[in-house]
Structure 1
């Protein structure tokens, strides 16, 4: 019987059903057709070429710029029982020769290779000997100069179709707008290939934007609330990564920094520690992340504004790849806009390219300043229609109330004007509120007409409103002049009464917290407490097993799989394989160990008269059976009828446990029951009462079930 794509999905990956469009794409690839696939990070792109690779004869070559990602993906594939390898500069010559030999003799299903390696030496000549059936081009946006991560070496991939016209190509990316998509197809020479665009919606990601004040303190508070949960903080500069990491280390968190200026050995060490959950927080430039396949990243923070929506969405997509709830935070201030604009203006890009980069930056700015559902903005950027607000972003949770703030703006702008545009945030607030501190008096600011005109607002209110004015562009800031505020054309229009200003109403932090506490459950139900405790127990076991195998913990099981395991508490092979993400190979490697841990947890936490694990009664029967007791003695010890014990043993056999059912029934009883069953054409799943009556009620239901189970086993 031929194996189907559904069989492969279950056997090797442990899932019962495909995500939207995956099955169609696999069919297209199996039909030897080219295609372009757009799926968000964590959306299941890899399955689209990995399953065809397993189903087809020959080799699938995966071209990826990400050496670290190759290693992770190959480890995960091998962990699922799939023959895979990678070929890049991290391998010694002997190791590369071994991989190439495996490819030549047909031992591999998938080979991951960097574009530099692909186009070096005589690799193309070897490819002709390796029975290549499919080229999968990952991070395909790198081939387009319109994309956010253009890599010139990717342009050489246009040679693939020229050299291998009969080998199909599947190009995959997580982020590409319409222009970039067209360019990818053109550059790869597959202009007529079908394009599949999956939903970019990642509802498990919570989207939040916070004002860029006191970022370090906000981050420390955030990480404290996410104790033990791995996360990434992205910074614009190398120095920024080191500063933020040091602040977290000083606060007692396991954190490290990562940027391109570090020696490769140190970068590799930090990355390995993060992958293995030895450090909780990695503070990095965008040099980190593309090569990370870590599924249990629970949060991502952007310390600075990204340069475009594509990069932002790809980076936050590194959180919650396993589908479990995850948080994302973007800190935003007008300083980030100025910095990014300067970087673009001072770059060596063409004027046309600079114009494009400024436009993309402006879209990112619009997202950060939005007063409507943030997910709507992200999805509309990728041309995806959204019917309703998401309910899982800061705007949806705390709807903005706008008001006419023209007078407030005029007061602030007047204060800036009358101080000759020389004051920064703190001093301006002191002037508006009428504070008579030493600095205000020293400069004579207490004699200004604007002194005290804003005494009706608290300092934190003024800070919020001034930040909104700055972020909306109606005033400027000179970072090279001690952050002094400056007026612009819009400022002067407002001061003259020619332009109105609307701001979002300030909500004190205390009110926000009170609202959150009001909405939050006061006390977890007992079942949730048990589930969380079991999850932590399983997480520790996973870490121990991963360390022993020298692989990242998520290669053993993802957080989503562990969470479902903690909820369902499987105690048999059948129950364990019903957990999403557990296929035949994963169960063979880890199943019994995790079942034993769940059983041990249940025994330690079950109180008299309670049962926290479904099927625990069967396990208790199994323990006594393994100890060598007879059915009668097991029944006595458990205070249960022997009929019930026999039913337990039949069920345990069905669930994959080693039960010798034949030894539990004598030949005469077995033959009599089966002869009668054959006469009535009755099977194990049929009602047993007619058979019970035909046998003149001489054999109980336990014996009948046992005989039919043995009969069915022998027939197979």
Structure 2
């Protein structure tokens, strides 16, 4: 490391000069009393919300505005957990440290006011929004990612937790490169074909931040595994909603073309077909909530779209629609016909 004399010299310059930038460890920051620090930038995320709050608190101690910036990504949570796993400590202590790390990443990738989130974490239930953080100043676009999350979790489980993120996304999209016959026989094969690939990646990243999925380093070949069992079940049963932030690139970029052409069909269909499709989706959502299963388990969107287009009048006609097998016809056929009748 740097010798004491050189370190002291640089500290003196940092304390005395205006506009000085100091690149250092957290230990340095905690030992410095400089009131007019304007920026605190974390090149790596801290280990907990407690550490984050204390460290960014070094900025703006003179009462003037200061900015805290934290650089992070999905690989950081995996690295943090690996680092904790390698430390000699009792299991109960390690579990606490892991939970604290996940709470930090959930805040970083969340969509609520930063100070409000941290203050609520510390027990201030009545904490108001600050009005000045990045979330308050430029609220992120969100989308309901519960169904994509359910599909991703199911795919990880069906694949036996043996693959990384890229392979899981390819599986959900139904991509055929290097695929084995056993994989195409799985119920999760291609169930995400109506979702853009970048959206699936964003959802998987968010599930990692939330602890619903975990990444096993696996000697440099990361594998994605299921995380907290109770949390996974809550999402799978639609008892817990998942909302994911849309990054600026995702908001402005055109949606990728989907394999089943659902988007194009929605854009060109007439109002009556659209109304039937939305009614069928509402019917499916209600059934899924009753049965505590993801909606796609009942019928996928492409099947509902074909039903809306064909408008079958009886069970025999419904049976001939792709995606309506005998078991689903027996279980849901009358309900589908009743929903269609209600839209007439």
TM-score of the aligned structures, taking structure 2 as reference length: 0.56
State the shift of 1:308 in Å: 3.2
Aligned pair in 2 of structure 1 residues 380, 336: CA closer, same or farther (>3 Å)? Answer: same
Cα RMSD (Å): 4.1
> Retained in 1: the 8 A contact 2:141–2:245?
no
Cα-to-partner distance string for 1:139-170 (whole Å, 9 max, x where unaligned): xxxxxxxxxxxxxxxxxxxxxxxxxxxxxxxx
Residue 477 of structure 1 aligns to a residue in which SS? strand
Q: Provide closer, same or farther for how the CA distance between residues 303 and 479 of structure 1 changes in structure 2, counting only shifts above 3 A.
A: farther
- CA shift digits 1:553-582 (9 cap, x unpaired): xxxxxxxxxxxxxxxxxxxxxxxxxxxxxx
Bigger-Rg structure (1/2): 1
CA–CA separation in structure 2 for the residues paired with 1:503 and 1:351: 29
Q: CA deviation at 1:400?
A: 6.3
Kept after mapping to 1: 8 A contact 2:102/2:211 = no
Counterpart CA distance in 1 for 2:128 and 2:31 is 34
Counterpart-to-counterpart distance in 2, 1:276 and 1:374: 31
Q: Is the 8 A contact 1:409 1:494 kept in 2?
A: no
Equivalent positions of 1:119-518 (< 5 A) are: 261-268=1-8, 270-272=10-12, 274-275=14-15, 281-332=21-72, 336=76, 340=80, 347=87, 361=101, 364=104, 367-368=107-108, 370-381=110-121, 386=126, 388-396=128-136, 397-398=138-139, 401=142, 403=144, 405=146, 407-435=147-175, 440-441=177-178, 447=184, 449=186, 450-481=188-219, 482-488=221-227, 489-490=229-230, 493=233, 497-498=236-237, 500-510=239-249
What is residue 627 of structure 1 aligned with on the other side?
A: none
How many angstroms apart in 2 are the aligned matches of 1:433 and 1:491?
A: 25
Specify the SS of the correspondent of 1:301: strand
| Paired residue secondary structure (1:325) | coil
Equivalent-residue separation in structure 2 for 1:394 and 1:463 (angstroms): 23
| Unaligned residue ranges in structure 1 (runs of 5+) | 1-260, 515-716
Whole-Å Cα distance in 2 between the matches of residues 277 and 394 of structure 1?
29
**Cα deviation, residue 509, structure 1:** 1.1
Aligned-partner SS, 2:192: coil
CA contact (8 A) 2:142 2:246 kept: no
Instruction: Work out whether residues 445 and 451 of structure 1, in 8 Å CA contact, stay in contact via their aligned partners in 2.
Output: no
Larger relative contact order (CA 8 Å, sep ≥ 6): 2
Alpha-carbon distance between aligned partners in 2 of 1:310 and 1:389, rounded to the nearest angstrom: 19
- Unaligned residue ranges in structure 2 (runs of 5+): 254-344
Query: Are the aligned partners of 1:297 and 1:319 in contact in 2 as well (CA < 8 Å)?
Result: yes
TM-score (normalised: structure 1):
0.30
Provide the rounded CA distance (Å) in 1 between the counterparts of 2:149 and 2:44: 26
SS in 2 for 1:476: strand
SS at match of 1:453: coil
| Aligned-residue offset at 1:468 | 1.4
* CA displacement, residues 628-648 of structure 1 (integer Å, 9 cap, x when unaligned): xxxxxxxxxxxxxxxxxxxxx
Superposed CA deviations along residues 241-265 of structure 1, whole A, max 9, x for unmatched, are xxxxxxxxxxxxxxxxxxxx44334
Aligned counterparts of 2:182 and 2:66: Cα–Cα separation in 1: 48
Q: Is the 8 A contact 2:35 2:61 kept in 1?
A: yes
Between Structure 1 and Structure 2, how many residues are aligned?
Answer: 249
Alpha-carbon contact 1:404-1:501 (below 8 Å) kept? no
Q: Measure the CA separation in 2 of the matches of 1:414 and 1:478.
A: 18
Deviation at 1:462, TM superposition (A): 1.5
Q: Matched residues in 2 for 1:381 and 1:492: separation?
A: 22
Distance 1:426 1:276, change over 3 A: farther
- 1:427-455 alpha-carbon deviations (Å, 9 max, x no partner): 3223323445xxx3276798464444323
Q: In structure 2, the residue corresponding to 1:390 is in which secondary structure?
A: coil
